[in-house]
Structure 1
Amino acid sequence: MRNIGNAVFTGRPAARVALLTHSTSPRGGHVHTLGLGEALHRAGESVHLFALGTQLYREVDLPHTLVPGPRREGTTLTERTLDGIERLATALAARITEFDVLHAQDCIAARAALIARERTGAAVSVLRTAHHVDDFTTPVLVDCQRRAITEPDRVLVVSRMWRDILARDFGVGATVVPNGVDLARFASVVPAERTGGFLLLAVGGIEPRKGSVHLIRALARLEDPAPELVVVGGHSFQDFAPYREAALAEAAELGVRVREVGTVSDAELAGWYAAAAGDGALVYPSTAEGFGLVPIEAMALGVPVVASDLPVFREHLTDGVDALLPPVGDDEALAAALRRVITEPALRDSLRTAGHTTAARFTWADAAEAHRAIYAELARTPAL
């Protein structure tokens, strides 16, 4: 028996598990998959990652197989989705007898797992973690997402809000297993170079769900000197180029400085967190999230957080205690919260202290132990 963090493992693998993800970019679902997979692997579990892509965004302590993803140029989102499902399903079908549980982390991976099982007739269970539900509009994608939620043998979510949404909208009972933070990912930190002044760090790119336009309009309301806004990330399966271009054009018209860094390594992300932990803050005014892993990462590294008053954030954040949570989509309220965090050093100190306590509640070791029990249950009663 071994103690891993706060969890206790018996040393005997609960099941042979394939972790499935549609991407290799550092988006929330993929970051979750790697963190969970590494915690399971280090604890002696039999786990193997399958991901669509040519290179993982960071080195991992996890056995893995990369499946070349669909071509982006000249294709629609529908075409890329269906192509990704087929590619991953084909790769899984060839090795499906090696596993007891196929654990999918997204719509594409779940459909691929279900198709691979149907084609082979393998006695394997399909588990789905639904991080959030996308607002697809095309019939093919809407149907794909629905089936990826309703057809797996069991469904997990990372928050109570999404558990309630899946029950209400899909008639599916889901189990909540929260995310975790692995500070070892950020062990080697060299603060990123900045231009001076107060640093506002936004992680996730410029896209509708991240509330980017609201942030730009809020910044335009602040008095001089305006803070430096650095935007990290931006790679997505969907194409948000029109939204991004319109947002940047509006920023230029309003005189808001936006510095896009793009997709970065874990070491570079740690550097930006370190820079914001000094004279800065994380700003995360999302309009929808599955859990909100970025604020927890930032809190763990001593960065004050301004997010938005989403129900999913209120499950683990308290306005005015460990974060500032202005109403969703309220530019004026967001500006007021930013003004406070910029001008009140004592507030930043209190947010850092409380935020560190909040982040400490979320570990991958605890998440791994919860998953391990679920894997064991599914392995005992495989779908036929």
Structure 2
Amino acid sequence: MDGNNRQESLRIALFTYSTKPRGGVVHTLELAEHIQNLGHDVHIFALGKDEQGFFRSTSFPNTFIPCAMGEKNESLDNRIERYIDTYFQFLVTHLQTSFDIYHAQDCVSANALWQASEKGLFSFFIRTIHHVDDFVTPRLIQCQKDSIYKPDYCLVVSEYWKDRLMSEFGVDSHIIHNGVNINRFRPPTDAQRKSAQKKLGVSGRTVFLSIGGIEPRKNSIRLMKAFDLARQQLSKQGLDSILLIAGGETLFDYTSYREEFFKCLHDSDLEIGKDILLLDTVEDEQIPELYHAADGLLFPSVKEGWGLVVLEALASGLPVLTSDISVFKEYLRHEENAFMVSAEDDSSIAFGIEKLAVDLPLKQRLVSSGPKTAKLYSWENTAKAHLEYYYDVLSAKSKPLFQHEF
């Protein structure tokens, strides 16, 4: 195509492995909606493991690929292999519409697209690499490597992961940051805050929020221990604190980690339902209410691609505690728009929790600066950056646009 001909509408296929509210899926849905709003045709393909569709309503065409849930004792290696093969076989037998862009958002769909491209279904594809997992089995390690090496073009969401891909894999990539829906996530009114706290049964308490479930990457065990330390100190100052842990359905099996979490919880002075409230998977429309009810977001992750939850909390005017990992330092500044702690130190996290609760000047500063930071990362800007990248790729490939038939 003519590299300067950027007014013609594109037909874009986005691919994801899940329909659940994980970060990569949220990214895919928001990207699709905002690209569509800019006048382009978008179609999402996803594994439909539970036949229930996406966790929230959508306004664009989508295809759910039939996929069995599998046996309870199925190994992760076999499950991933089955997901990839199911995805690939569906594309080979059912993908009849031609798209200008084929864009995978995860390891599973990237492997399926690679195999489909080897069959000649399309000439190139793109993958967004949100982060790299620490797999231990040879099959999963190879699966991840293929999903990094085989795409023709790679996107990342942070400078940190761009550097990691180049240093560890020798793969070049282009950065397009994640966004946040600043119309949906905004500071609550006093009435909204009181209503949200009443619904959750936490009125009059100092409420801390963790979103992402119980898993190693979210540092859940250390967070729980740190909260126990902080809760005891805050109690001496007359504050009754509670930790809400929300969300968390994931592709991976964290059974052993969850068992360790609950063992540590049992050995602590914390009580489920009194000091910690486990909300599991929360309906999408309830997410803003969680931010409205909370006094602070606790997010001491050991690894993140960017941190969609952090952006949502910032936009909601919620004081944020994060770890001081490199990704967060790309858009957060300690005590300016977040309180940053050591992810490996219980006492550091506990100290940060106490600061969010009792340091009023700090809280006011974070409440004020959060929405200002979030406004720098709108999904509309993210969508526009993707479109510019897509046009650049098509121009570089000298690929003519398909003539669409409707």
Same fold (TM over 0.5): yes
**Separation (CA, whole Å) in 2 of partners of 1:248 and 1:184:** 37
2:56 maps to what in 1?
58
**Separation (CA, whole Å) in 1 of partners of 2:125 and 2:73:** 32
- 1:170: Cα distance to partner? 0.7
Indicate which of 312, 329, 335 corresponds to 2:350. 335
**Separation (CA, whole Å) in 2 of partners of 1:206 and 1:109:** 25
**Separation (CA, whole Å) in 1 of partners of 2:241 and 2:368:** 23
**Separation (CA, whole Å) in 2 of partners of 1:136 and 1:198:** 38
Range moving further from structure 2, 235-244 or 246-255: 246-255
2:247 maps to what in 1?
233
Describe the shift of the 1:159–1:358 C-alpha distance in structure 2 as closer, same or farther (beyond 3 A): same
- 1:314: Cα distance to partner? 0.2
Aligned residues: 370
Residue 20 of structure 1 aligns to which amino acid in structure 2?
F
Indicate which of 299, 315, 335 corresponds to 2:330. 315
Cα deviation, 1:221-247, whole Å, max 9, x if unaligned, reads 122255211011010000112211221
1:173 maps to what in 2?
172
Cα deviation, 1:173-219, whole Å, max 9, x if unaligned, reads 00000001113445897624233410010000011100111111111
Residue 23 of structure 2 aligns to which amino acid in structure 1?
G
Kept after mapping to 1: 8 A contact 2:15/2:44: yes
2:142 maps to what in 1?
143
2:257 maps to what in 1?
243
Kept after mapping to 1: 8 A contact 2:116/2:122: no
> Does the alignment pair 1:268 with 2:286?
yes
Residue 214 of structure 2 aligns to which amino acid in structure 1?
I
Q: Rg: which structure is higher?
A: 2
Structure 1 SS opposite 2:323: coil
1:102 maps to what in 2?
102
- 1:382: Cα distance to partner? 6.9
- 1:165: Cα distance to partner? 0.3
Describe the shift of the 1:148–1:85 C-alpha distance in structure 2 as closer, same or farther (beyond 3 A): same
* Alignment of structure 1 residues 1-384 onto 2, 5 Å: 12-13=8-9, 15-53=10-48, 54=51, 55-72=53-70, 73-93=72-92, 94-95=94-95, 97-119=97-119, 121-186=120-185, 191=196, 192-196=199-203, 197-222=205-230, 223=233, 224=235, 225=239, 227-256=241-270, 257-276=275-294, 280-380=295-395, 381=397
1:3 maps to what in 2?
none
Percent identical pairs in the alignment equals 36
Kept after mapping to 2: 8 A contact 1:251/1:258: no
2:403 maps to what in 1?
none
1:4 maps to what in 2?
none
- 1:65: Cα distance to partner? 0.8
Kept after mapping to 1: 8 A contact 2:87/2:109: yes
**Which blocks of at least 5 consecutive residues in structure 1 are unaligned?**
1-8
**Separation (CA, whole Å) in 2 of partners of 1:96 and 1:334:** 52
Describe the shift of the 1:102–1:220 C-alpha distance in structure 2 as closer, same or farther (beyond 3 A): same
TM-score, normalised by the number of residues in structure 2: 0.87
- 1:346: Cα distance to partner? 2.5
Structure 2 SS opposite 1:125: coil
**Separation (CA, whole Å) in 1 of partners of 2:242 and 2:398:** 53
Kept after mapping to 2: 8 A contact 1:124/1:382: no
1:6 maps to what in 2?
none
Cα deviation, 1:109-134, whole Å, max 9, x if unaligned, reads 10011111212x13432100000001
**Separation (CA, whole Å) in 2 of partners of 1:244 and 1:141:** 21
Cα deviation, 1:61-116, whole Å, max 9, x if unaligned, reads 22111113342423111111111111212222321542122100010010011111
Kept after mapping to 2: 8 A contact 1:70/1:80: no
Cα deviation, 1:237-260, whole Å, max 9, x if unaligned, reads 001122112212212321123211
**Separation (CA, whole Å) in 2 of partners of 1:183 and 1:305:** 17
**Separation (CA, whole Å) in 1 of partners of 2:251 and 2:243:** 24
Q: Report the aligned-residue RMSD.
A: 1.9
Kept after mapping to 1: 8 A contact 2:356/2:363: yes
**Which blocks of at least 5 consecutive residues in structure 2 are unaligned?**
400-406
Cα deviation, 1:113-172, whole Å, max 9, x if unaligned, reads 1111212x1343210000000111111111111011111110000000000000011110
Residue 207 of structure 1 aligns to which amino acid in structure 2?
E
Cα deviation, 1:274-307, whole Å, max 9, x if unaligned, reads 111xxx1000010100101101101101111011
Kept after mapping to 2: 8 A contact 1:283/1:306: yes
Range moving further from structure 2, 212-221 or 303-312: 212-221
Residue 37 of structure 1 aligns to which amino acid in structure 2?
A
**Separation (CA, whole Å) in 1 of partners of 2:123 and 2:287:** 38
